[in-house]
Amino acid sequence: MASPFTINATINSFGGQFLKLTHQSAVTATSMNLTLYLPPSAAASKPAPLLIYLSGLTCSPDNVTEKGFLHCHASSLGLALLYPDTSPRGLDLPGEHESWDFGSAASFYIDATAKPWNKNYKMESYLTNELPDLLFGAFKELDSSRVSIAGHSMGGHGALTLYLKNPGKYKSVSAFAPIANPVNCTWGQKAFSGYLGDNKEEWKKHDASELLRGWKGPLNALIDVGTEDNFYKQGQLLPENFEKVAKEIGASGLQVNYREGYNHSYFFISTFAGDHVQHAAKALGLL
Amino acid sequence: MASPFTINATINSFGGQFLKLTHQSAVTATSMNLTLYLPPSAAASKPAPLLIYLSGLTCSPDNVTEKGFLHCHASSLGLALLYPDTSPRGLDLPGEHESWDFGSAASFYIDATAKPWNKNYKMESYLTNELPDLLFGAFKELDSSRVSIAGHSMGGHGALTLYLKNPGKYKSVSAFAPIANPVNCTWGQKAFSGYLGDNKEEWKKHDASELLRGWKGPLNALIDVGTEDNFYKQGQLLPENFEKVAKEIGASGLQVNYREGYNHSYFFISTFAGDHVQHAAKALGLL
Is pLDDT of B1 > 70?
A: no
> How many Cα atoms sit within 13 Å of A138 on the Cβ side?
17
The b-or-e profile of B79-92 (16+ CB within 10 A means b, else e) is: bbbbbbbbbbbebe
Question: Could you please report the per-residue DSSP string of A109-137?
Answer: TSB--STTGGGT-BHHHIIIIIHHHHHHH
Cα–Cα distance measured from residue B47 to residue B283, given in angstroms and rounded to the nearest whole number = 16
For B260, the closest chain A residue by CA position comes to A12
Letter for the amino acid at B158?
G
Is pLDDT of B22 > 90?
A: yes
The pTM assigned to this predicted structure is: 0.96
Average pLDDT, chain A: 98
- From the candidate CATH numbers 3.30.70.380, 3.30.70.360, 3.90.870.40, 3.40.50.1820, the one assigned to the domain spanning B4-282: 3.40.50.1820
Complex ipTM: 0.93
SS3 B131: helix
The whole-number pLDDT of residue B2 equals: 86
Residues 6+ apart with CB under 8 A from A227: A258, A259, A260, A261, A262
Measured CA distances, B78 to A78, B39, B49, B134, B248 (Å): 29, 5, 8, 21, 37
Please choose, from the candidates A20, A24, A13, the residue with its C-alpha nearest in 3D space to the C-alpha of residue A83: A20
The dihedral through the CA atoms of B37, B40, B43, B46 has a sign that is negative
Average pLDDT over residues B206-234: 98
Cα–Cα distance measured from residue B124 to residue A227, given in angstroms and rounded to the nearest whole number = 41
The b-or-e profile of B141-175 (16+ CB within 10 A means b, else e) is: bbbeebbbbbbbbbbbbbbbbbbbeeeeebbbbbb
Low-confidence ranges of chain A (pLDDT < 70): 1
For the segment B185-198, what is each residue's pLDDT rounded down to a tens digit? 999 999 999 999 99
Please give, rounded to a whole number of angstroms, the shortest distance from the CA of B19 to a CA of chain A.
13
* B48, β-bridge pairs: B142
Letter for the amino acid at A214?
G
User: Is the CB of A12 less than 8 angstroms away from the CB of B266?
Assistant: no
Cα–Cα distance measured from residue B287 to residue B272, given in angstroms and rounded to the nearest whole number = 17
Cα–Cα distance measured from residue B271 to residue B84, given in angstroms and rounded to the nearest whole number = 21
Measured CA distances, A4 to A35, A52, A68, A133, A135 (Å): 14, 19, 27, 11, 9
Cα–Cα distance measured from residue B153 to residue B236, given in angstroms and rounded to the nearest whole number = 9
The whole-number pLDDT of residue A244 equals: 98
Cα–Cα distance measured from residue B133 to residue B144, given in angstroms and rounded to the nearest whole number = 9
Question: Could you please report the per-residue DSSP string of B35-98?
Answer: EEEE-TT-BTTBPEEEEEEE--TT--HHHHHHHT-HHHHHHHHT-EEEEE-SS--S---TTTTT
For the segment B155-172, what is each residue's pLDDT rounded down to a tens digit? 999 999 999 999 999 999
B263 close to A (CB below 8 A):
yes
Return the number of other C-beta atoms located less than 10 Å from residue A212's C-beta.
26
**Secondary structure element (H or E) that encloses residue A73, with its range:** helix A70-77
A-chain residues near B12 (CB < 8 A)? 226, 228, 261-263, 267-268, 271
* Pairing outcome for strands A80-84 and A48-54: parallel
For the segment B61-116, what is each residue's pLDDT rounded down to a tens digit? 999 999 999 999 999 999 999 999 999 999 999 999 999 999 999 999 999 999 99
A interface mutation test: which of B65, B271, B275, B277 has the most A CBs within 10 A? B271
Average pLDDT, chain B: 98
Residue pair A12/B261 in contact (Cβ under 8 Å)? The answer is yes
B267 close to A (CB below 8 A):
yes
The whole-number pLDDT of residue A229 equals: 98
The whole-number pLDDT of residue A2 equals: 86
Residue pair A170/A180 in contact (Cβ under 8 Å)? The answer is no
Letter for the amino acid at B217?
G
Residues 6+ apart with CB under 8 A from A174: A148, A150, A159, A221, A222, A223, A224, A276, A279, A280
Closest partner CB to A261 (pick from B12, B228, B267): B12
Phi, psi of B37 (to 5 degrees): -110, 125
For the segment B39-74, what is each residue's pLDDT rounded down to a tens digit? 999 999 999 999 999 999 999 999 999 999 999 999
Please choose, from the candidates A119, A118, A138, the residue with its C-alpha nearest in 3D space to the C-alpha of residue A130: A138
Cα–Cα distance measured from residue A184 to residue B127, given in angstroms and rounded to the nearest whole number = 52
Letter for the amino acid at B13?
S
The dihedral through the CA atoms of B162, B164, B166, B169 has a sign that is positive
Q: Cα-atom radius of gyration of chain A, to the nearest Å?
A: 18
Closest partner CB to A13 (pick from B66, B228, B271): B271
A-chain residues near B263 (CB < 8 A)? 11-12
Closest partner CB to A267 (pick from B13, B261, B263): B13
Cα–Cα distance measured from residue B228 to residue A11, given in angstroms and rounded to the nearest whole number = 10
User: Is the CB of A72 less than 8 angstroms away from the CB of B67?
Assistant: no
User: Is the CB of B271 less than 8 angstroms away from the CB of A69?
Assistant: no
